[in-house]
Amino acid sequence: MSAVEFADASLDPALAARLRPAGHTPDGRPLVTAVAQDADSGRVLMVAWMDASALAATLRTREATYWSRSRQELWVKGATSGNRQRVVDVALDCDGDTVLLRVRPEGPACHTGLTSCFDTLTLLAAGDGDGTAA
């Protein structure tokens, strides 16, 4: 995969060269994974995708902006729901395919109305022996 796979008029070329795809759009454009974390509570709120233009918009506007795989369009978080995420800082991970956004949410992150998309289903609860091998 080319170092310029993420090349986009809106994105700093030096940054584009650092990015690696975690996935692709149906028409083959590369996507990075984006994790949004509440900057104050530390809670992980949601995980979504960004194409080059969504990442560029996020960095430029400090409004979390994703690529919606279901709607196949740029998605300014909260543009319709009002539940925007103001971006405090953004970090790229060591292999260049995931960004971590620390945000100040203006409402629930989840379309279900829950604070976090991870409030839906606990697969393994903390309990006796938590943190130790079974």
Minimum CB separation of residue 55 from its own copies in Å reads 8
Nearer to its own copies, 4 or 40 (CB): 40
Residues 6+ apart with CB under 8 A from 3: 17
Q: Is 60 left (phi over 0), alpha (psi -120 to 50) or beta?
A: alpha
Tokens of 127: 């309990």
- Regarding beta strands 98-105 and 30-38, do their DSSP bridges make them parallel or antiparallel, or are they unpaired? parallel
Minimum CB separation of residue 118 from its own copies in Å reads 4
Nearer to its own copies, 4 or 114 (CB): 114
Minimum CB separation of residue 102 from its own copies in Å reads 8
Minimum CB separation of residue 29 from its own copies in Å reads 15
Residue 4 CB: number of other CB atoms within 10 A? 11
Residues of this chain that bind its own copies (CB under 8 A):
15, 18, 22-23, 33, 35, 37, 39, 42-44, 46-47, 58-63, 86-95, 98-100, 102-104, 110-112, 114, 117-126, 129-134
- Environment class of 121 (CB within 10 Å of its CB; exposed 0-12, middle 13-18, buried 19+): exposed
Nearer to its own copies, 4 or 41 (CB): 41
